[in-house]
Amino acid sequence: MSRIGFVGLGAMGSRLAGRLLAAGHQVYGTNRTAAKAAPLIARGLTWCETPREVARSAEVVFSMVTDDAALATVACSRDGILAGLTPGKVWVDMSTVSPHAARALAGRVERLGAALLSAPVSGSVPSAEQGTLEIMVGGDPRVLARVEPLLRLLGRRVIRVGTNDQALLLKLAINISLAEQMLAFAEGVLLAERGGIDRKLAMQVMLGTAVGSPMLKARAPLILDLPQDAWFSLRLVQKDLRLALDAARSLHVPLPGAAVADELVTVAQKLGYGERDLAGLFEVLAQIGAKGERERPPVSRATSDANPGP
């Protein structure tokens, strides 16, 4: 058994903390919304009032929060994780944040005599629950060797990528592909449906071809029945797209597909889909298409029947 801390018990973090509890570890945890921790407390999690208390109580601290601002809050505030770290402890941050934030935080942790591994994941809520995430790790390989048995409780593959910031860059590279794949698939399904082909049939055929990636196959049922609880919300999709676009500018890499996806997600947020799953892009496209049809000017019979000639 290890004394493990977990800061951030949202949709993903709660599943990961639950797997650590199920493996018999003593888990100390905290979350911005205490009510979300109630099921874990019932399973044996020790509630802490602050991230600082979590870090003081644990040998290894995990965290998973939404963005750079949230990470700065749980890390750097008066009662943050940094205030509770002591030499020899390991902090594994599984948040998807900017590469420069990961690099800066790693330096601060190292100056305390502790170690930070950046370990963003590929996979959504079902993957977190089943322990089938892909975990990309940046940081000291010797530190990774110490905590790899814990990470293998959470993911089917644990891959050391390089430095802290490189792990985050690779995660962003994956997420721009997720958004672009989903957008392209939604476009194809909508085109087929508007041409009179049954939506379910169109999806079945498309997923059986070379375009049917594992991600699309897993999310296809959500296009038919979009759930209220997102696996990966469009608000967070846009956060990652913009982090990727920022990184691309500094590296002089063109990302035209990511830029188009970002524009559509902006429309999705305006239509109220910010907290809906990535699969909601289909409904957004359908709404845009229907609006365009309504706004199309009527064509007179004389015009439509006229032969335009050469």
Q: Considering the domain boundaries, does residue 304 fall inside one?
A: no
Domain that holds residue 91: 3-162
105 and 150 share a domain? yes
121 and 180 share a domain? no
Percentage of the residues of the chain whose pLDDT score is greater than 90: 89
Q: At 33, is the pLDDT very low, low, confident or very high (cuts 50, 70, 90)?
A: confident
What does the DSSP assignment read for 137-191? EES-HHHHHHHHHHHTTTEEEEEEEESHHHHHHHHHHHHHHHHHHHHHHHHHHHH
Mean pLDDT on 201-213:
95
| pLDDT tens digit sequence for 153-166 | 999 999 999 999 99
In residues, how long is the chain?
310
The answer to whether residue 301 scores a pLDDT higher than 70 is no
Task: Return the pLDDT at 294.
Answer: 52
CA torsion angle 266 267 272 274 (round to 10): -30
136 and 21 share a domain? yes
16 and 157 share a domain? yes
Nearest CA to 249 out of 107, 99, 136 is that of 99
Q: Is 217 a catalytic residue?
A: no
Q: What are the φ and ψ backbone dihedral angles of 131, each rounded to 5 degrees?
A: 75, 30
Domain closes at, from 113, 129, 162: 162
| pLDDT tens digit sequence for 43-59 | 999 999 999 999 999 99
Which is catalytic among the residues 36, 89, 171, 217?
171
Task: Return the pLDDT at 292.
Answer: 57
- For the whole prediction, is pTM greater than 0.75? yes
CATH number at residue 274: 1.10.1040.10
The answer to whether residue 296 scores a pLDDT higher than 90 is no
CB 110 within 8 A of CB 80: no
Task: Return the pLDDT at 293.
Answer: 53
Cα→Cα distances 100→12, 250, 251, Å:
23, 11, 13
The answer to whether residue 149 scores a pLDDT higher than 50 is yes
Task: Return the pLDDT at 299.
Answer: 38
What does the DSSP assignment read for 111-150? HTT-EEEE--EE--HHHHHHT-EEEEEES-HHHHHHHHHH
Is the C-alpha dihedral spanning 47, 5, 64, 223 positive or negative?
A: negative
Percentage of the residues of the chain whose pLDDT score is greater than 70: 93
Tell me, rounded to whole angstroms, the distance of Cα 66 from its chain centroid: 8
Q: Considering the domain boundaries, does residue 309 fall inside one?
A: no
| pLDDT tens digit sequence for 105-136 | 999 999 999 999 999 999 988 899 999 999 99
244, two tokens: 């990727």
203-237 as b/e: b if 16+ CB within 10 A = beebeeeeebeebbeebbebbeeeeeebbbbbbbb
140 and 286 share a domain? no
186 and 277 share a domain? yes
